[in-house]
């Protein structure tokens, strides 16, 4: 699937030769090809460190051995779990998933224990697998880094509008990247909202323009595509002389250039009923990136985004300044930890709840943009995920929240519990019954974006007895 | 308690113990290697190198000749704190890069076309002159692509230029042609295709490819005119030619920031810049102080590189102390431009604020962080991944135990056998820095008790060697073969843009021996790397690669 975008372009009949008929009057006018239905979008909202299970879970403790669900719409605010309480206003648009497992990451821990690979650190493996679901790049003397194209990039490549942005990665670095364009090749991440805004500006519609004779500026702009065409030709000449990943990089580069050419051909400017290019950014970092994402989505500049949420300071969630978030609080927040205390679990829950507030705000910014009969959020799937399930490095019982639902694709307003199904060699070696693999959710997300695939990343892993756990197929009970 | 029992088993077989952050140090360094035939030339891989953000910006500025040219910021290149920015595997194209490169290329082209001085410098002829397009393309292209254009290649750019001139105007043609050059694969990547047929799977680089190897290693930028001229004349072939160029380039001002940037990465000097300290304990700490600490260590390392030896990096008291740092060093007056001797309790990079304050908690120093740093970045022996349940918080004093030093608290914390598997080594280094607090301020009393910074260094040589404190420990480092070998390995990784491979065994061994022969002279090491036969070769490109 290396050249899906280019193939798409070719299918549209916009090969290199036809790109620069300077459609100088097109810029600024809305494309007639604007689809009637709102496009589907996908955003990942990633916070670090996991959560405190008893304080986010809302499962029925008497029904742990069977699948069950709870109607969120009928719950009062006080009936929401302590960590998810800030999400209550969004309850009709939520799908909370209880008991998924980062199965591939746990399986890699088993491989490292058996001498395959070098880095068994659960943070690193969680970060490497969260969006790739495949074996990390493991090298002696280096830490484990994502070993394949991440889900957001894979989906983006398939659904991108030619000439616009396939995806964006915003926010901070938690430790290692989550988003990858290729093995060990992180997708660049923009941490500065102003710079991120500049990246969108050239693609925003500039309002209706009267047809007039093209100015020199117009012609110069159109000719930028020609300079790209020349460069693309140089890439095409050189890449066959290389091999392996080097050639792959140059071929990808050439495809990206071909795509960018469209930006100067008159057709790529975003639009859409809800697009308001006059928006200015304000508020804290989370709000600004929410506004950026809303802008990019509503103007159909991109359809896939990731926001890696900034770290909190202790003051943000009311913990004393002398405590170290990672070492004092997170590591002592579940009862199996050597230094467990209810106080630390409490701070950890406060930390998680603060992120829940931020997630709610992120979603509410999208929800405040009307689109069609509903809102931008209704036509978007926002997935809140963490690289671990707890501050003590579990990777089963993952907390996962979906907001939006992609135009009704996902049935929201529900809390869905999955009974344990797989016997996995748990992180620390002991077999354990765990819930379904998150890989299935990845398949569901791809299918929700219109991509008919039945697997993403690894297709199967061994279970604790050497039998096979299949990772194919979507996650049941979502749609 | 389901996980705890299992952890104990794991720890029994593997040394795991580093804390919170992976501190592999750029380049790692645990590939088992053995040199079987020192005379054979064996090549490791030579991955294509995309320019890093810094190399790209330097190259654009040098190409245009505007040192302070404003350029868009590129996202960070390093995958983690344990990799160098220029790791080839992690550097590729992306949508974001391609778009920002395009915008910058277009803007720079506009500048060249419109600024009279730049126009005169880069366009050696006027609109009315016959063949002006070709003259411009050949002159500018040779510098942009870091080699003369082939005839076909020049023709493509000339045709493009004339096309744009016809459809828009001459200025537009200049602007767009510059833009196209800046987006070509030959500008954005270091393509080493080699010259002619290979022998035994090895291909000689072209002189211009060698020139780029030199300039990006020594300057993080493109070759200058003298280097390009040498390449044109095939004068980068013999050891004396290469040595002369390397020494000329090391003496050029461009080498200094590049060298400082190398040390920034190797020694993770960025780490201190984001550290915070408890204000009630360290009122003088601020973001500016942290930034100044980073700069100070970079300046010191740069100074040592050009004026001294690796040993000096661990023993010298020379400092470049800005006003922000003077109080932490207990100095009454700063001296930024003129090097001064730091107080006697400071000698070597590991008694500077950047290391001490960067590898510490908010309220006190962290012996494990400092010890892991030594093992992974200086000795190339990073400890394994940390066990998930390790209590890595700063230990709190137990009021019933009476007064305790930071060291006593940590000794108590890591006393169980399962911790000692790793902490015996980690802490033997880490405790050496107990004379310096969370911010790197010197102390002889900790919590009312005398500081004990003594220890026994293991892994530096055959014997375990006792030392009194950090100054004493660094004196051992200054003559340690293990540390010198590791320093060579780090430079090697940086120079090659990749981790060491089995094929590098003999080259690495040879460089390590040469480094020892020259007494740990750092700029001499870089010259020796350039003089290796491998510097002029790459492995043949095969489909199976």
Task: Identify which has the larger pLDDT, B75 or A15.
Answer: B75
Question: What pLDDT band is residue B28 in, cutting at 50, 70 and 90?
Answer: very low
Q: How far is B339 from chain A (nearest CA, A)?
A: 36
The yes-or-no verdict on residue A14 having pLDDT over 90 is no
**Average pLDDT of span A400-428:** 89
A165, A223, A428 ranked by CB distance to B95: nearest: A165
Q: What is the percentage of chain B residues whose pLDDT exceeds 90?
A: 78
Question: What pLDDT band is residue B10 in, cutting at 50, 70 and 90?
Answer: very low
- From chain A residues 334-363, the ones with a CB under 8 A of any chain B CB are 336-339
pLDDT value of position B118? 97
CB contact under 8 A, A242 and B191: yes
pLDDT value of position B387? 67
How far is the C-alpha of A146 from the C-alpha of A149, rounded, in Å? 8
CB contact under 8 A, B176 and A224: yes
Domain B49-190 has CATH 1.10.3130: yes
pLDDT value of position A24? 33
pLDDT value of position A428? 56
* Contacts of A257 by beta carbon, 8 Å cutoff, 6+ apart: A228, A231, A232, A235, B98, B183
The yes-or-no verdict on residue B166 having pLDDT over 50 is yes
Which chain B residue is nearest to residue A263, measuring alpha carbons?
B99
Among A240-244, A266-270, A390-394, B177-181, whose mean pLDDT is lowest? Answer: A266-270
Task: Identify which has the larger pLDDT, A104 or A29.
Answer: A104
pLDDT value of position A212? 78
Tokens of residue A174, six digits? 């938690």
The yes-or-no verdict on residue B331 having pLDDT over 70 is yes
CB contact under 8 A, B157 and A243: no
Write the secondary structure of B369-423 as one string of H (helix), E (strand) and C (coil). Answer: HHHHHHHHHHCCCCCECCCCCCCCCCCCCCHHHCCCCHHHHHHHHCCCHHHHHHH
pLDDT value of position A204? 83
The yes-or-no verdict on residue B96 having pLDDT over 60 is yes
* Interface-testing mutation among B14, B93, B192, with chain A (most A C-beta atoms within 10 A): B93
pLDDT value of position B198? 83
How far is the C-alpha of B191 from the C-alpha of B60, rounded, in Å? 17
Q: How far is B244 from chain A (nearest CA, A)?
A: 32
Burial grade of B130 (CB within 10 A; 0-12, 13-18, 19 or more) = exposed
- Chain B partners of A142 at a C-beta cutoff of 8 Å? 24, 28, 82-83, 499
**Average pLDDT of span B348-352:** 98
Q: What is the percentage of chain A residues whose pLDDT exceeds 90?
A: 70
Question: What pLDDT band is residue A236 in, cutting at 50, 70 and 90?
Answer: very high
Which chain B residue is nearest to residue A259, measuring alpha carbons?
B95
- Chain B partners of A428 at a C-beta cutoff of 8 Å? 3, 6-7, 10, 388
The yes-or-no verdict on residue B366 having pLDDT over 60 is yes
DSSP designation for A417: E
Nearest to A130 by CA among A111, A108, A112: A108
Mean pLDDT across chain B: 90
The yes-or-no verdict on residue B27 having pLDDT over 70 is no
Fold of A43-206+283-470: Alkaline Phosphatase, subunit A (3.40.720)
pLDDT value of position A275? 87
CB contact under 8 A, B30 and A339: no
The yes-or-no verdict on residue A188 having pLDDT over 50 is yes
CB contact under 8 A, B172 and A249: no
pLDDT value of position A104? 96
The yes-or-no verdict on residue B33 having pLDDT over 80 is no
Helix H or strand E segment including A444: helix A438-448
Q: Does the CB of A219 have a partner CB in chain B at under 8 Å?
A: yes
pLDDT value of position A113? 83
> Helix B95-114 vs helix B53-64: angle between axes, to the nearest 10 degrees?
10
Among A214-218, B220-224, B341-345, B448-452, whose mean pLDDT is lowest? Answer: A214-218
CB contact under 8 A, B184 and A234: yes
**Average pLDDT of span A334-351:** 93
> Is the complex ipTM more than 0.90?
yes
The yes-or-no verdict on residue B461 having pLDDT over 50 is yes
The yes-or-no verdict on residue A11 having pLDDT over 80 is no
Question: What pLDDT band is residue B98 in, cutting at 50, 70 and 90?
Answer: very high
How far is the C-alpha of A308 from the C-alpha of A325, rounded, in Å? 18
- Give domain limits for chain A: 43-206+283-470
- Give domain limits for chain B: 49-190
**Average pLDDT of span B374-393:** 80
B19, B27, B106 ranked by CB distance to A224: nearest: B106
Write the pLDDT tens digit of every residue in B293-304.
Answer: 999 999 999 999
The yes-or-no verdict on residue B15 having pLDDT over 80 is no
Residue identified by tokens 């076309």 is B113
A121, A165, A245 ranked by CB distance to B22: nearest: A121
CB contact under 8 A, B2 and A216: no
Q: Degrees (nearest 5) of the Cα angle B244, B249, B250?
A: 100
pTM of this structure: 0.90
CB contact under 8 A, A243 and B541: yes
- From chain A residues 404-433, the ones with a CB under 8 A of any chain B CB are 426-430, 432
How far is the C-alpha of B6 from the C-alpha of A465, rounded, in Å? 17
Write the pLDDT tens digit of every residue in A237-270.
Answer: 999 999 999 999 999 999 999 999 988 876 546 6
Q: How far is A455 from chain B (nearest CA, A)?
A: 25
* Interface-testing mutation among A22, A53, A142, with chain B (most B C-beta atoms within 10 A): A142
CB contact under 8 A, B72 and A195: yes
């Amino acid at each position: 699937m290396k050249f899906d975008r280019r193939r798409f372009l070719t299918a549209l009949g916009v090969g290199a030769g036809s790109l620069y008929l300077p459609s100088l009057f097109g810029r600024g006018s809305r494309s007639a090809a604007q689809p009637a239905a709102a496009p589907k979008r996908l955003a990942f909202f990633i916070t670090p460190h996991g959560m405190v299970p008893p304080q986010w879970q809302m499962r029925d403790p008497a029904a742990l051995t069977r699948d069950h669900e709870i109607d969120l719409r009928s719950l009062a605010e006080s009936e929401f779990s302590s960590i998810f309480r800030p999400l209550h206003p969004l309850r009709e648009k939520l799908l909370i998933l209880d008991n998924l497992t980062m199965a591939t990451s746990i399986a890699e821990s088993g491989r490292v224990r058996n001498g395959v690979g070098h880095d068994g650190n659960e943070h690193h493996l969680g970060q490497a697998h969260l969006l790739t679901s495949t074996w990390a790049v493991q090298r002696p003397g280096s830490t484990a880094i994502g070993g394949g194209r991440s889900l957001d990039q894979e989906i983006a490549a398939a659904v991108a509008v030619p000439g616009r942005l396939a995806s964006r990665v915003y926010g901070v670095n938690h430790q290692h990247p989550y988003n990858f364009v290729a093995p060990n090749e992180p997708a660049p991440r923009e941490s500065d909202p102003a710079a991120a805004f500049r990246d969108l500006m050239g693609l925003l519609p500039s309002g209706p323009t009267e047809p007039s004779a093209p100015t020199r500026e117009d012609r110069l702009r159109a000719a930028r595509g020609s300079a790209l065409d020349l460069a693309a030709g140089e890439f095409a000449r050189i890449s066959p002389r290389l091999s392996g990943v080097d050639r792959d990089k140059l071929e990808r580069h050439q495809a990206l250039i071909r795509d960018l050419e469209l930006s100067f051909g008159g057709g790529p400017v975003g639009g859409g009923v809800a697009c308001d290019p006059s928006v200015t950014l304000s508020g804290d970092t989370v709000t600004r990136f929410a506004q950026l994402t809303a802008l990019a989505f509503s103007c159909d500049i991109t359809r896939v985004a990731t926001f890696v949420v900034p770290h909190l300071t202790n003051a943000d969630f009311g913990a004393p300044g002398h405590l170290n978030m990672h070492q004092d609080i997170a590591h002592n927040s579940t009862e199996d930890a050597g230094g467990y205390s209810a106080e630390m679990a409490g701070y950890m829950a406060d930390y998680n709840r603060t992120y829940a507030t931020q997630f709610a705000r992120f979603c509410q910014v999208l929800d405040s943009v009307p689109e069609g009969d509903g809102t931008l959020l209704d036509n978007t799937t926002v997935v809140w995920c963490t690289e671990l399930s707890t501050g003590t490095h579990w990777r089963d019982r993952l907390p996962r929240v979906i907001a939006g639902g992609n135009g009704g694709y996902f049935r929201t307003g529900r809390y869905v519990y999955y009974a344990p199904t797989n016997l996995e060699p748990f992180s620390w070696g002991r077999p354990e019954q765990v819930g379904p693999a998150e890989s299935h959710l990845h398949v569901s997300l791809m299918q929700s974006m219109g991509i008919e695939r039945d697997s993403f990343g690894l297709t199967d892993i061994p279970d604790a007895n050497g039998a096979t756990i299949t990772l194919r197929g979507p996650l049941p009970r979502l749609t | 308690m389901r996980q705890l029992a299992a952890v104990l088993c794991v720890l029994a077989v593997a040394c795991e113990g580093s804390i919170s952050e992976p501190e592999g140090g750029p380049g790692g360094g645990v590939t088992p290697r053995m040199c079987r035939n020192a005379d054979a030339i064996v090549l490791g891989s030579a991955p294509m190198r995309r320019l890093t953000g810094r190399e790209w910006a330097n190259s654009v500025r040098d190409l245009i000749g505007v040192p302070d040219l404003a350029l868009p910021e590129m996202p960070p290149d390093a995958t983690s704190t344990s990799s160098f920015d220029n790791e080839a595997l992690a550097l590729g194209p992306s949508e974001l890069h391609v778009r920002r490169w395009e915008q910058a290329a277009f803007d720079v082209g506009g500048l060249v076309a419109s600024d009279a001085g730049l126009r005169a410098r880069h366009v050696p002829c006027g609109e009315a002159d016959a063949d002006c397009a070709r003259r411009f393309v050949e002159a500018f292209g040779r510098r942009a692509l870091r080699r003369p254009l082939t005839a076909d290649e020049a023709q493509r750019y000339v045709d493009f230029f004339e096309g744009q001139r016809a459809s828009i105007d001459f200025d537009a043609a200049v602007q767009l042609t510059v833009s196209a050059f800046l987006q070509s694969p030959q500008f954005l990547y270091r393509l080493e295709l080699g010259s002619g047929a290979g022998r035994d799977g090895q291909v000689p680089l072209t002189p211009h490819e060698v020139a780029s190897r030199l300039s990006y290693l020594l300057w993080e930028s493109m070759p200058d005119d003298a280097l390009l001229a040498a390449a044109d004349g095939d004068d980068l072939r013999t050891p004396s030619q290469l040595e002369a160029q390397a020494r000329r380039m090391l003496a050029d001002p461009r080498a200094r920031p590049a060298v400082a940037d190398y040390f920034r990465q190797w020694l993770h000097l960025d780490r201190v810049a984001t550290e915070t300290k408890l204000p009630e304990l360290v009122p003088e700490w601020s973001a500016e102080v942290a930034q100044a600490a980073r700069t100070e260590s970079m300046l010191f390392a740069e100074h040592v590189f050009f004026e001294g030896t690796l040993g000096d990096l661990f023993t010298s008291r020379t400092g470049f102390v800005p006003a922000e740092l003077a109080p932490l060093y207990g100095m009454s007056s700063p001296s930024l431009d003129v090097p001064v001797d730091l107080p006697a309790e400071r000698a070597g990079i590991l008694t500077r604020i950047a290391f001490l304050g960067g590898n510490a908690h908010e309220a006190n120093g962290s012996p494990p962080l400092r010890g892991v740093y030594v093992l992974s970045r200086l000795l190339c022996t990073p400890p394994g991944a940390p066990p998930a349940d390790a209590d890595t918080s700063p230990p709190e004093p137990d009021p019933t135990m009476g007064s305790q030093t930071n060291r006593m608290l940590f000794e108590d914390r890591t006393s169980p056998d399962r911790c000692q598997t790793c902490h015996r080594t980690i802490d033997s280094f880490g405790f050496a820095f107990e004379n310096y607090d969370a911010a790197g301020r010197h102390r002889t009393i900790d919590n009312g008790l005398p500081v004990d910074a003594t220890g026994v260094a293991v892994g530096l040589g055959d014997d375990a060697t006792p030392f009194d404190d950090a100054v004493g420990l660094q004196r051992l480092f200054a003559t340690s073969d293990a540390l010198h070998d590791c320093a060579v390995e780090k430079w090697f990784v940086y120079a090659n843009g990749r981790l060491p491979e089995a094929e590098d065994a003999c080259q690495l061994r040879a460089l390590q021996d040469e480094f020892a022969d020259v007494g740990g002279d750092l700029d001499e090491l870089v010259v020796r790397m350039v003089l290796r036969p491998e510097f002029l070769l790459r492995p043949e490109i095969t489909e199976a690669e």
